[in-house]
Amino acid sequence: MRKSLNILRNSLRLTFQELKVNKLRTALSLTGVAFGIFCIIGVLATVGSLERNIQDQVKSLGSNTIYIDKWEYGGGADKPFWKFRARPAMKYEEVALLKERSQLLKDVGYLMRSSGNISYKDDVIQNASVYGIIEAQMTIQPLSFEIGRFISQAEFNSGSPVGLIGFDNAEKLYGEASRSLGKTFEIKGKKVTIVGVIKKEGKNFIGWDYDNCVMMPYKFCKQIIQDNFANPVLIAAGKDGVPTAALSDELKGAMRQIRRLSPTQEDNFSLNSVEAFSEAITGLFKTVNIVGGLIGIISLIVGMFGIANIMFVTVKERTSVIGLKKAIGAKSSSILFEFLMEATILCLLGGVIGLFFVYILSLVLSGPLNFPVYISIPLLFTTFIICLIVGIAAGIFPASRAAKMDPVEAIRSK
């Protein structure tokens, strides 16, 4: 055991001495590996973080939830655009009719979607997201508040001119979000009193733009936005434990009954499952990860050949030293281990440099671009394993050549 430790200690000392003496060679070796690790881990970290952020936003759309809309969120490539456009918009009255015909529903929401200018005194926000909601919205898509509360049942019933405001909009109009509570904003000539400020959500790729929105009771909102121009959607949430497929089948039958479609008529609505959307995103990111991984692997292979070439040069330069070591009793396995250790350390150092640049990338994306990037423990472990494999693969042939040298011929080569 002690002998093995001495061999390891001496190998490490010789390796670092060699790296220190040949600085340019070391730098060139590290560059290839560092770039390869940066490509692989950078892509995996960025794509993984993007998927995580999007999946979190998908979850915010509701658990076991189906969006009933005239539009098909998957694109509907099999149907021309005009067919979707010609479909009737979702109606508020269909909420109650769906509840009557469904046994699997927990609740159904109705959401009007539009945009408009909102103002407070001389400050104006153009094209803010405007949502008209009903009381079920909080059940299906729970909101978190920076300050204030949700719209009350009485305010929904009477269509009161009250509303919720997104964090960014509150800051733009009132300086600080906390100052907006109880104040009013004007939209299409009507004043709305703010009862709650929605907690800041951050960068949003899908779903509702909560940071830049205003939410008002549907009965009030329809006074300023007509249903046909508001892209309304029904949001159906299933009971706990109900399979999404079963919920979708029931909703399809119920909607066909409500719209009195004959067996020969095609659906004039689309059922967009959040679960299916999540699975589609997972499949897409698997492909992106594979492509990114292949790019990184190609970079690593280039770096591996660079290290292998430099190791061959190192072996040639130290041929006489190898001969002397073998002449005084060094085993071939010790020589092999020494050169493998040098190649592996080169790769590990390159990996550390690559990770450093990935960290810089994460700071840039998480800071100025407001896109959080996560470098997980599994990714660090993956980096270590990749560096070990590349180091062994790059050093095995030069190390084997050194280990097989005849000591007499090696000494004479000097």
Please state, rounded to an integer, the average pLDDT across all residues of the chain.
82
pLDDT in tens, 144-158: 899 999 999 999 999
Planar angle of CA 40, 44, 50, nearest 5 degrees: 150
Q: Whole-prediction pTM value?
A: 0.65
Q: Where are the domains of the chain?
A: 2-57+279-412, 88-268
Pairing outcome for strands 213-217 and 123-133: parallel
pLDDT-based confidence at 55, cuts 50/70/90?
low
CA angle 225, 226, 231 (to 5 degrees): 90
DSSP 145-207: EEEE-PPPHHHHHHT-SEEEEEHHHHHHHHSSGGGGTT-EEEETTEEEEEEEEEPP----SSS
Q: How far separated are the first and last CA of the chain, in Å rounded? A: 34
Q: What are the structure tokens assigned to 54, written together? A: 């999007």
313 vs 279 pLDDT, higher one: 313
What pLDDT does residue 194 have?
Answer: 96
In angstroms, rounded to a whole number, what is the distance separating the alpha carbons of residues 317 and 313?
6
Q: Given this model, what pLDDT does residue 2 score?
A: 60
| Backbone φ, ψ for residue 72 (5° rounding) | -100, 120
pLDDT value at 41 more than 90: no
Average pLDDT over residues 102-108: 90
What average pLDDT score do residues 297-302 get? Answer: 76
Largest separation between any pair of C-alpha atoms in the chain: 101
Pick from 127-131, 215-219, 359-363: least confident: 359-363
Q: What is the pLDDT of residue 205?
A: 56
Q: Is 81 exposed, middle or buried (0-12, 13-18, 19+ CB in 10 A)?
A: exposed
If residue 144 lies in a helix (H) or strand (E), which one and from where to where?
Answer: none
Mean predicted confidence (pLDDT) in 4-17: 64
Region 93-117: mean pLDDT is 91
Structure tokens at 237: 């949430």
Work out the number of other CB atoms within 10 angstroms of the CB of residue 196: 21
Query: At residue 198, what is the residue type?
Result: I
Give the pLDDT of residue 336: 82
Mind spelling out the 3-state secondary structure of 201-212?
CCCCCCCCCHHH
Residue 228 confidence (pLDDT): 53
- Flag whether pLDDT at 253 surpasses 70: yes
User: What is the structure's pLDDT at 15?
Assistant: 64
pLDDT at 410 over 60: yes
Give the CA-trace dihedral at 322, 328, 329, 335, to 10 degrees: -10
pLDDT tier, 206 (very low <50, low <70, confident <90, very high otherwise): low
Rounded to whole angstroms, what are the CA distances from 191 to 179, 205, 367, 399?
17, 30, 37, 80
Instruction: Say if CB 169 and CB 197 are below 8 A apart.
Output: no
pLDDT digits (tens, 9 = 90+) for 60-88: 666 678 889 888 876 655 677 778 888 88
Integer Cα distance of 92 and 225 in angstroms: 13
Report helix angle 332-366 to 319-327, nearest 10: 130
Residue 159: pLDDT band (50, 70, 90) is very high
Distance CA 391, CA 282 (A): 32
Strand partners, 233: 111
- Chain centroid to CA 373: 8
Residue 339: which of 350, 325, 355 has the closest Cα? Answer: 325
Is the pLDDT score of 227 beyond 60? no
Pairing relationship of beta strands 162-166 and 270-273 according to DSSP bridges: unpaired
Taking the C-alpha atoms of residue 53 and residue 187, their distance in angstroms, rounded to an integer, is 32
> Bridge partners of 118?
125, 187
